Structure 1
């Protein structure tokens, strides 16, 4: 229990430590300097702050030093369960109000996450809402117990178990957990899933959970980072006001767990409802921030981390015995975990695949990595670190980095040492680490083969569980009385001015549009070449062509084959991404500015000189055909393939982006070349540059690398009108044994040019577009049917779709469908209240700056300006447009566009367990279709 005394309001630690980290890589380029202050409150709360006034945003990132590392056997998943409980409502904030407050205030990057060694909570707020964040975070640190009861615990046990089922429904998840059970002995903190087992989560009782909070969710076991646009003196005052009174908790003992080494290879075969078998090999490797962990990073990059890594080259590209290869190295407080997953092609034996794997690893151990492989690993690592600093909060942002370094090294300013340790890696150290740690004897090998998915679910606890438990207030009445001022939600400060990006535009002589946004705060540049070359342009009977074209474009140019193209990118620390959506094809990259010329040369080469080599086309076709077959591994993939087809029919909007087995099989190299020639050209493309670059530099780069591009593109296609909507009915796509049902409702929406588009943003925010929306609160928070539910309007150039849905527990599929459809049906008659509309406006308007924290995000947003011919000041005008929406507009749009009687409800799951309930639900006739959408009689 917490100490039952009132803590005095003491001054902050008198001597605040000023720290900064400045690094320089071996290339000689000076890296950013990040200044931070560090101090402690008298109750032990560690505070780290970093000022940054670029945007009117402030990130609050609170790490509690607790995770599965601190759990007891039989109580797995407590840290993660508590992550959920922290959003359920504390004494002064109110029940389930936390997320509503932060989202309606315009927060972005709002989340809570649990990993083996820590639990964190973060939000990036408009800077005038800093005090709101202090109120919210301090209330759930100090006053959660008063709002925590058995009803909330029961609900969140359901939600957490739905999250686990969501994972269990993914292909190979059961094999991943089996690998951890072999890597660690039972009782080890890393043995099980961070989420915990069904049995342990269900056994959590209110007294256990309250004790866990009192032990670990205390100021002396936490570090808070505030980064962004704040006044230091005011921040100190707020910290003292909100966190200062919270009593210090009991000391948290250091965990002393020894991880036994693996000295004899461990093996297991797991069955799962998958199409393809998969080989996984894992090892225990050095823990976080040890010198050898950096060498393992480089070894794994060379082995299976790069696009043309050794395993990719041997198994995916040349041998074509593997569908995919993925290798990674995760590092934690107790150990590192290094693994490679290799999915076999149909007909390939895992034994043969494993033999090839050990052969490639043996070559790396014998000869070591090449100088190019070492350089690429270092360059990619450096780019990742620096580009992450564009964000104040969220994963990899400044606040997260300070907390991450502090958690594992005790030094928030560890960046220069981190860079130095990366730079210290050599070919010799990489070879030595591979020989020492990646051995056959120390490996865990898991075969995952098609078969029954064996899960260990357990029943829900009785309804009267914990009914007789007496809950004791942790504080004295005197202390409670002294904190009554917390009942008042803090008012926001003056709203900061919104400075949203308005690009500079110019054109080259060949018609290429260039859009530029300058930001010189970090040496980072994002560049994208966007063309109106999306799937809407696929010829009849050629669905999947546009996306295949974009894939093969990234595989080689006339002067660079796949290996050289990949190597040239990685040595300058970048990856060029190629992709295609419904209405555009995009080629993009982010890199450090001093590599701009080399990067633009590569980007232009991919855009202007794709080779479409026969080998690449053939390999990509085979991979695509296998991926299409694998879609039945996932109920979500099954539902999202069928739903649009039933709404749009043969229109491009109804065709799957991957195509069908029949269409992909028919593609020829000339199909790809013809599509490229018809839809990629300067007059129908835009080069978007965002970051550390001037107008003069942008003009020079654009003219140098794109000025000689000449091509003529075909006129825009005409999209046929969709078929008339059918009365609401239910479609079942059968997947026997699925632990969850993918439940989605689909219907017609609006085109991107609709005058009601902005109004529908506000409609959907309340209906299903936010965590606190009606659909999510109903299905997740009230009933515990799902981990999360949402709705949205997908707007296209010539049409659009409405969707709503979730992954739900199999045994409540019908109930969830009725609740979801009830929310959609009721909305036109009960549209947003004044309070809901005000919250939606505040959220959408105040969150806009957070959508443009990174150069990549800015470039992505600007691509929509080009593709949809929007004005350059489109984003800067959005706040005014949202403000002008009235209650009458909301009511009118809801009646006009929400048609609960014209939706197709797609359910992908175990038909034997969901069909009768759906028939009894009264939502319409029920039919069964296959994954292609064909009716099964």
Structure 2
């Protein structure tokens, strides 16, 4: 289950490359004449965001909110409990989150893992989270499976404690502690704890992390957790939101049927949680294994129900949220002392935090950046934002919320908006009030808020490279003998779980193809659920097209592509995007390089102008190259401190061979090569690969094809390739990698990141559906044998999975398992055993087969509920040379499969003895374990991943 613990955006995943001021060097394209439309007013965007709802309350206090959305035959079920880490007393930190895990382990009338029945009904967006203010559980299910989902949710609400045993507690405690290790093991992974402790005084309800301490988790007893359940999880402490293919009469009947008999419990009471005032500024320094210093400053401020909340949201965007933010312009693009700066307002139910963070250029004294941040904040307090800054913030913020409300459920859809309002503000429609208040913000209102709140003392933390302090490890005591606690109900007192009705078929939108006037193919699908257009220019390039002796050329080209065009420099470009609510993204896979956008369809015409400028005429200014290069070098250095980043740099040359095009897919590139890149290198890559002959444009929009095609013809007219196009050469005959273990020594890591790599001989364009389907029971799902063994049975990992790394020319099999350090060797042995059994004497069972096929067919409607999912599927179908109606016919293919067919397919691919294993961990702890596995062990320093052993 996912856990939110950070007060700010994850500092471990900072995107280091930002836009910068650019100088025009080329002429605008012919289609860049004045756009035929002006940006839509903010008021019109606000009006487009509407989630009609009705609500009622059962006699036991359960509040039910219903929203009808008939676009797909699915219903989002979202249960929010008024209990979070702020309710935890001293000595019991982490209990709310631990209990979130326990509630996935089955209940008295539905024993076994909660994921098992939901997998079979085809649930999507299935998870649970814990935070300061709440615990929530959510799943989107076919409408025909709604009764079963409600049965399961109600059973764990009313009939849970009898299913909690010492074994279950020990299992989930171990999983949670590995979840904690996994987050802590990342660069800057301990920052969130310091921020919480620095901003809030000891004993404040918001003054400890949601995941808790190792010691408190160790001390949790069965009686403790049962008492915790009885005190907090009654129906009168919950909000149930049903959104989708459902109406109010049906919701009344079903919620009364399944939840009505549950007795209310003690009413949850919000703890006293005033906004604290720091007596004086507080500054701390901590060391961490990071490549660049980090400066963080945080203020305690009011929460989301305070009148100051919308003004603080705007202030954070203007200072460090917009692409043209004050911090970015001054520190990243201006004096170039930082490689990334951001600001955020975290609006909790009772309090909030206003946090700024700057990733400092490695050769700069972080004290210089800290002082400059103070100066910029002081200037902002004195003068406030401009009217244009406020307007750009409002348009950008509201446009993103418009696009984010297409899904009925998940972690950010319409059910979430309604549940948050009901639980935090006693009004499911509170999102409307928030948007209205946001739209009313002015420079004066924002200035008044920051003058009141940001003049107060703040907490400052500077993270510098160095050895971490000793890590707090778990010391789980032996289980104590305890008297059995009384159960709230006797097992078996309910009716059996209801069956699932006929599940509605997937209605994948019709995909149409057309040609633009310049010959580029247009692949289009219409979705009218939200007035948003998403568009991707996909080029036949990708990491495989990177320059062999200059790895990182593609990354640098994409990083520089929005540094300016012939018409606009970087700041002007960023401001223009913000006025339109336009987001432009660049990205790449092994096979494709993409330049994409998302915008309100009301602003489609001017959005196309900006997007086309970036495609056709990026200026790649020499004046900004040194800065962006420094950012990219910092990114590369950061990748060498992060377990996942290290693996991404090591694995491709080992798996594919050093001369293979896919071996180039090594993170952000080679530091020496990036340091030597010139503007001419970037221009040459752009001309060779980002050209119309290599492009296809994919679009999902509420606007008709004719309008989209006409708009593209206008802005791309006359676009032609220049010079010689790039080519990729894929060698077919290569020796397989030698089975072995490559150990990257990362000292003092509480976890090891294990990767198992197998070159299969298959291509991504092959028909992989049988092997992918078979792998569901081995490594492709939460219920797969590898995850259930390492996580649920042994609780050595927070999650372990295996699947096919699918590229056009290769389809390798790859395992991923972060495990506690002392179980590294045993975990590899366990995975090898599971694979050997699966392709040997314990193949997929009939129950696993039935679960896989049923889940795959029933989940289709939920999988493609959003335009984003449809757009992704359109691109995948094209890359793998599948028909456009592939998902429209896949149900028949699933139903025609047999268990013997699937077992035979996976048996022909997986050989546990041919894997190469990569381990990123502490060699002094891990090496002795690996030496016992019977494979050669090669050791390298994690900080020297360019020296990868590349023997075939």
Matched, 1:760 2:777: no
SS in 2 for 1:342: strand
Deviation digits for residues 357-405 of structure 1, max 9, x if unmatched?
Answer: 1122222222221222101111122112211220000122010110011
Residue aligning to 1:343: 359
Distance 2:870 2:718 in 1: 27
TM-score normalised to structure 2 length: 0.92
CA distance in 2, matches of 1:257, 1:296: 19
Choose from 672, 679, 688 the match for 2:682: 672
Query: For 1:69, what is the secondary structure of its paired residue?
Result: helix
Offset, 1:126: 1.5
Pick the aligned partner of 1:880 from 892, 896, 899.
892
| 8 Å CA contact retained: 2:346, 2:354 | yes
Which stretch has the larger CA shift, 678-687 or 503-512? 678-687
Deviations along 1:591-644, whole A, 9 cap, x unmatched?
222111111111111111111111333322221112111223212221232122
CA gap of 1:629–1:755, structure 2 versus 1, over 3 A, is: closer
- CA 270–469 in structure 1, closer or farther in 2 if over 3 Å, else same: farther
Equivalent residue, structure 2, for 1:253? 269
1:462 aligned to 471, 477, 490, which one?
477
Instruction: State which of 177, 181, 206 in structure 2 corresponds to 1:161.
Output: 177
Whether 1:832 and 2:841 are equivalent positions in the alignment is no
Q: Give distance in 2, aligned partners of 1:716 and 1:226.
A: 52
- C-alpha contact 1:90 1:139 (8 A) present in aligned 2: yes
Q: 2:713 aligned with 1:706, yes or no? A: no
Report SS of the residue matched to 1:237. Answer: helix
User: Does structure 1 retain, via aligned residues, the 8 Å contact 2:83–2:268?
Assistant: no
Distance 1:797 1:754, change over 3 A: closer
1:702 is displaced (CA, Å) by 1.7
Q: Residue 230 of structure 1: CA displacement?
A: 2.6
Task: Write the distance in 1 (CA, Å) between the matches of 2:630 and 2:136.
Answer: 42
CA distances 1:754-803 after superposition (whole Å, capped 9, x unpaired): 54400122122111111111110000000010111111101111112211
Quick one: structure 1 residues 433 and 455, their matched pair in 2 at CA, closer, same or farther if it must change by over 3 Å?
A: farther
CA positional deviation for 1:356: 1.2
- For residue 787 of structure 1, what is the aligned residue in structure 2? 798
Using the TM superposition, give the Cα deviation of residue 66 of structure 1 relative to its aligned residue in structure 2, in angstroms: 0.4
Q: Distance in 2 between matches of 1:557 and 1:741?
A: 45
Residue 75 of structure 2 is aligned with which of 35, 53, 58?
Answer: 58
Q: Describe the SS at the equivalent of 1:125.
A: strand
Deviates more, 1:178-187 or 1:447-456: 447-456
- The question of whether the paired residues in 1 share the 8 Å contact of 2:287 and 2:464 is answered with yes
Residue matched to 1:40: 57
Q: What is the CA–CA distance in structure 2 between the aligned matches of 1:867 and 1:892, rounded to whole Å?
A: 26
Alignment correspondent of 2:857: 845
- Kept in 2, the 8 Å contact 1:547–1:658? The answer is yes
Q: How many residues align?
A: 905
Change in Cα spacing, 1:433 to 1:235, as seen in structure 2 (3 Å) is closer
Match of 1:928 among 936, 939, 942: 939
CA separation of 1:514 and 1:69: change in aligned 2, threshold 3 A: same
Contact 1:510 1:683 in 2 (8 A): no
Residues in 2 aligned to 1:48 and 1:115: alpha-carbon distance in whole angstroms: 21
Choose from 906, 910, 916 the match for 1:898.
Answer: 910
Report the CA distance shift for 1:243/1:910 in structure 2 as closer, same or farther (over 3 A): same
Tell me, in whole angstroms, the C-alpha distance in 2 between the residues paired with 1:908 and 1:275: 17
Shifted more, 58-67 versus 823-832: the winner is 823-832
Q: Secondary structure at the match of 2:756?
A: strand
In structure 2, the partner of 1:13 is none
Work out which of the residue numbers 310, 314, 322 in structure 2 matches 1:298. Answer: 314
Whether the 8 Å CA contact 2:407–2:413 is kept in 1: the answer is yes
Q: Distance in 2 between matches of 1:672 and 1:405?
A: 48
Pick from 764, 783, 802 the counterpart of residue 772 of structure 1. Answer: 783
- 129-138 vs 843-852, which moves further: 843-852
**Greater relative CO, 1 or 2 (CA 8 Å, sep 6+):** 2
Q: Secondary structure at the match of 1:499?
A: coil
CA distance in 2, matches of 1:203, 1:632: 36
* Runs (5+) with no aligned partner, structure 2: 1-39
Q: Provide the rounded CA distance (Å) in 1 between the counterparts of 2:787 and 2:58.
A: 38
Map Cα deviations across residues 107-131 of structure 1 (whole Å, 9 max, x no partner).
1111100110000000011221111
Distance in 2 (CA, whole Å) between partners of 1:208 and 1:163 is 21
CA contact (8 A) 1:179 1:282 kept: yes
CA distance in 1, matches of 2:563, 2:148: 49
What's 1:448 paired with? 463
Corresponding position of 1:20: none
Looking at structure 2, the residues matched to 921 and 715 of structure 1 have their Cα atoms a distance apart, in angstroms, of 44
Counterpart of 2:333 in 1: which secondary structure? helix
Out of 591, 594, 618, the position equivalent to 1:583 is 591
Q: SS in structure 2 opposite 1:531?
A: strand
Q: In the TM superposition, what is the alpha-carbon distance from 1:231 to its structure 2 partner?
A: 4.8
Q: Deviations over 1:477-523 (max 9, x none)?
A: 6xx66x242xx332111121221133111111211111221122222
Question: Residues 25 and 31 of structure 1 are in contact (CA less than 8 Å); yes or no, is this contact kept in structure 2?
Answer: no
2:629 is the counterpart of 1:612: no
Q: CA deviation at 1:750?
A: 5.3
**1:404 — aligned with what?**
420
User: In the TM superposition, what whole-angstrom CA distance separates every residue of 1:881-900 from its partner, at most 9, and x where no partner exists?
Assistant: 22232222212222221121
* Cα distance in 2, alignment partners of residues 433 and 232 from structure 1: 41
Indicate if the aligned counterparts of 2:65 and 2:242 stay in contact, CA closer than 8 A.
yes
Cα separation, partners in 2 of 1:245 and 1:660, compared to 1, 3 Å: same
- Residue 614 of structure 2 is aligned to residue 600 of structure 1: no
Q: How has the CA–CA distance of structure 1 residues 293 and 809 changed in structure 2, closer, same or farther, with 3 Å as cutoff?
A: same
Q: Residue 807 of structure 1: SS of its match in structure 2?
A: strand
Partner of 1:813: 824
C-alpha distance in structure 2 between counterparts of 1:574 and 1:375, whole Å: 14
Question: Matched residues in 2 for 1:470 and 1:502: separation?
Answer: 59
- Paired with 2:269 and 2:663, the residues of 1 have a C-alpha distance of 58
Question: Matches of 1:722 and 1:381 in 2, distance apart?
Answer: 52
Whether 2:699 is the aligned partner of 1:684: answer: no
Corresponding position: 1:320 with 2:336: yes
Secondary structure in structure 1 of the residue aligned to 2:779: helix
Moved more, 755-764 or 339-348: 755-764
Segment of structure 1 superposing worse, 117-126 or 87-96:
87-96
Contact 2:657/2:950 (<8 A) preserved = no
Structure 2 vs 1, CA of residues 459 and 577 (structure 1 numbering), >3 Å: closer, same or farther? closer
- Relative to structure 1, is the Cα distance of residues 423 and 754 closer, same or farther in structure 2, using a 3 angstrom cutoff? closer
Match of 1:555 in 2: 563
TM score, norm. by length of structure 1: 0.94
CA distance in 2, matches of 1:335, 1:61: 24
